Amino acid sequence: MGREDTTSSSFMTDLSAVILPARPWRRQGRLNKSYLERLKKYHLSIFKGFERIKPCLLLHTCFISFLHLSIFTAILSSVFHLLPLFAHLSPLQDIHLPSPLQLHHHTNGFNIMSGFFNISGKFGGKTKPKRSSSAVRPLFLCQPYCNNSIVKGNFKTIVQLPKYVDANEWLAVNVFDFYNYINMFYGSISDFCTLRDCPTMSAGAGFEYLWMDGQKKTSRVPAPQYIDFVMSWIQTLVNDENTFPTKDGREFPATFQQTVRAIFKQLIRVFAHIYHSHYDKMLSLCQEGHFNSLFAHFVSFGREFDLLDKKDIVPLQELIDIMDSNGILC
C-alpha cells in the first residue's frame, strides 16, 4: 500500500508539473491535499446534480423529439400539397417550370403550415375558404407584370421617321431588328415549346393559326414548326437582294410595304403565342420587362406606318389597351 501511494503521489506530482504551473495551491512540487479534496467534492456534487436533473433532461428530450416530429410532418404535408404541380413529370419527360401564379395558387402563403397547426386570427379558429374564379387571368395581364418595362415614356420619338431618311430604308432596318430580337427571345424559351406541349400554333382560347405554303394550301402544324417556318421565311426574304437591297443604286421593290405587312402579321403571331403559352417562362428568366418593351416598340412602329390590321392584334388587345392607358404606345 505504501508503495502504491508513493507511485500515485509521484504520478500526480509529475502531472501537476505539466498541467498546473505556478498556482497558489502548488507548493514545493506537490499538490495541496486540501485542494484535491475540494476538487473531488466538487466533482461529486456535479454528478449528484446530474442525477437530480435526469428526469428534467428526459422530459426536455421528449419535448424536442415531439417538436422535430411536428416540423417534419408539416414539411411532409407541404410536399403533398405541392405534388399536383409536378404530378405530370417523370425522369424521362421534359421539365416544366411552374409559373408564379401556379405556385401562389397551390401554396397560398403559409396556409399549408397554418392548416397543420390550425393557425388563424385566433387559436382554434377556422380559415375561411377563398372564392375560386371560373377563368384564370393570363399572367401577362396581371399586376405587376403587365406594367414591367425598361423604357419609360412614349415610343413616338423612337418610331417616327427621322429627317432625310428614306421610308423604305427605315422600314427595312426596323423589320430586321424586330426579326432578330423576337428570334432571340423565342430561342430563350424554345426548349419549352415542344411538339407535345404546343401541338398547335395557338394564342389563347379560340385562336389557332394555320400555315399556308407556297401553293396556298393551309395545314395545321405544331407551334415550334410554325415558328420555324416563319423565321426561315423571313430570313430568306432578308437575304434576298431583290427584296431587301443592300447595294448602292438598288431600289426597293414596289411591293416592299406589302411584304413588310406580311412579316408583321407573322411576327405578332409569334408574340401572341409566347404571351399566351410561355409567359411564365419569361417571368422565370426575368425577361418580362425587356419583352414587354419590345412588344410596345413593335406595336408603336406598326401603328406609325399602318402595318397591323385590327384582326391581327385581337389576341393581345387587352395588353395593348393597358399599354395605351399607361401612355407607352404612340
pLDDT in tens, 146-175: 888 888 888 988 999 999 999 999 999 999
- Extract the C-alpha cell encoding 37: 479534496
To which residue does cell 396556298 refer? 216
Residue 215: C-alpha distances to residues 95, 169, 218, 219, 255 (Å): 38, 30, 9, 11, 20
Domain segments of the chain as ranges: 32-135, 139-325
Mean pLDDT of 228-252: 92
CA-derived radius of gyration, the chain: 38
Asked whether the beta carbons of 300 and 159 are under 8 A apart, the reply is yes
CA distance 75 to 72: 5
Element (H, E) at 284: helix 256-284
Q: Is 115 exposed, middle or buried (0-12, 13-18, 19+ CB in 10 A)?
A: middle
* CB atoms inside a 10 Å sphere around CB 166: 11
Which pTM does this prediction carry?
0.60
Res. 8 pLDDT band, cuts 50 70 90:
very low
In the chain, the percentage of residues whose pLDDT exceeds 70 is: 60
* Domain at 139-325, CATH from 3.30.1660.40, 3.40.50.720, 1.20.140.30, 3.40.50.920: 1.20.140.30
- What are the residues whose beta carbons fall under 8 Å from the beta carbon of 92, sequence distance 6 or more? none
Q: Where are the alpha helices (DSSP H) in 83-149?
A: 100-107, 111-117
- Extract the C-alpha cell encoding 163: 429627317
